[in-house]
């Protein structure tokens, strides 16, 4: 059975680019879901079976870090792995993300190979 | 602080990894900085150890080519997709500069990108600030990366 991924980014362009990178990386997802901020992501996770989440950090309404915290407090979704994809990949912010449960981070700009290397072990 | 070198290196990385358009960097402008003949601009603020406004300015056909290459589709008008694409470029560029400066102990915070478009506008820097404009040439035409900054 194929996998389902959720891409969380306030930029429609970036969501399309990440989708394309997943295809180029050769990762076989049955379904690619999208959300425009952390709150939308929580709503999608509540209504769908998702195998992995790729999330931006800087977003309006609910940031990636706020999303990680809220997700960690919900037993139904807390174990779904999240990888951060962001321009913000300094050690301080990545340490915060990992403390909140993130399994890895990919810096924008990124290559499909980098997405594959980071996401592959989680699937 | 080698602003020009950092801007060039980060721009080249973005175009090589996510836009896939051949790019040639030209010498920074020394004149004609206020009237670049552009129709779409995206800008993002940086604050911290220095304050800056970083932007990309494009003629319409160049903005459409860049946005189309990012999205993997043909764009024929400056719409939300084009603006979003250029906003993402400034976001990635600012993130790259932030990382490069952080490695030297200079810390910055990023704002949210803003995009404007129009048939005619001028871009000025506040008096007392510094400004670097670097032209980049694509097959379809020239765009500019613009950094206005003041040291805190």
Domain count for chain B: 1
Cα gap B77→B81, rounded to integer Å: 9
Over its length of 152 residues, how does chain B's per-residue pLDDT go in tens digits? 589 999 999 999 999 999 999 999 999 988 777 778 889 999 999 999 999 999 999 999 999 999 999 998 999 999 999 999 999 999 999 999 999 999 899 999 998 899 999 987 887 777 788 999 999 999 999 999 999 999 86
A89 touches B at CB < 8 Å: yes
Which of A109, A110, A113, A114 should be substituted to probe chain B, the one whose Cβ sees the most B Cβ atoms within 10 Å? A109
Q: Tell me the chain B residues in contact with residue A113 when contact means C-beta distances shorter than 8 Å.
A: none
A78 touches B at CB < 8 Å: no
Cα gap A19→B4, rounded to integer Å: 32
Taking domain A3-122, whether its CATH number is 3.30.420.40 is answered by: no
Instruction: Give the range of the structural domain holding residue B141, as residue numbers without chain letter.
Output: 3-151
Q: What is the pTM of this model?
A: 0.88
- Residue B131 belongs to a domain with what CATH number? 3.40.1550.10
Which of B95, B97, B112 should be substituted to probe chain A, the one whose Cβ sees the most A Cβ atoms within 10 Å? B95
Q: Where are the domains of chain A?
A: 3-122
pLDDT tens-digit profile of A43-80? 999 999 999 999 999 898 999 999 999 999 999 999 99
pLDDT band for A88, please (50, 70, 90 cuts). confident
Q: At what angle do helices A12-24 and B60-71 cross, to 10 degrees?
A: 50
Beta bridge partners of B52: B46, B149
0.85 surpassed by complex ipTM: no
């Amino acid at each position: 059975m194929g996998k389902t991924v959720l891409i969380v980014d306030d930029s429609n362009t970036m969501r399309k680019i990440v989708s394309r990178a997943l295809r180029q990386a050769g990762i076989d997802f049955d379904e690619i879901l999208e959300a425009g901020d952390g709150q939308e992501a929580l709503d999608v996770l509540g209504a769908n079976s998702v195998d992995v989440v790729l999330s931006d950090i800087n977003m309006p309404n609910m940031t990636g870090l706020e999303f990680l915290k809220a997700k960690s407090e919900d037993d139904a979704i807390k174990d779904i792995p999240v990888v951060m994809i962001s321009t913000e990949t300094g050690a301080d912010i990545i340490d915060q993300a990992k403390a909140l449960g993130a399994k890895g981070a990919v810096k924008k700009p990124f290559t499909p190979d980098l997405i594959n290397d980071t996401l592959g072990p989680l699937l | 602080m080698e602003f020009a070198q950092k801007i060039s290196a980060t721009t080249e990385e973005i175009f090589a990894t996510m836009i896939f358009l051949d790019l040639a960097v030209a010498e920074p402008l020394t004149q004609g900085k206020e009237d670049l003949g552009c129709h779409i601009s995206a800008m993002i603020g940086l604050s911290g150890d220095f304050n800056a406004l970083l932007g990309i300015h494009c003629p319409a056909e160049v903005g459409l080519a860049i946005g189309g290459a990012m999205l993997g589709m043909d764009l024929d008008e400056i719409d939300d997709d084009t603006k979003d694409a250029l906003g993402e470029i400034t976001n990635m560029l600012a993130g790259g500069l932030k990382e490069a400066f952080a490695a030297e102990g200079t810390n910055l915070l990023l704002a949210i990108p803003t995009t404007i478009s129009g048939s005619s506008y001028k871009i000025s820097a506040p008096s007392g600030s510094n400004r670097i404009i670097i032209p980049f040439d694509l097959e379809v035409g020239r765009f500019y990366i613009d950094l206005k900054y003041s040291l805190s």
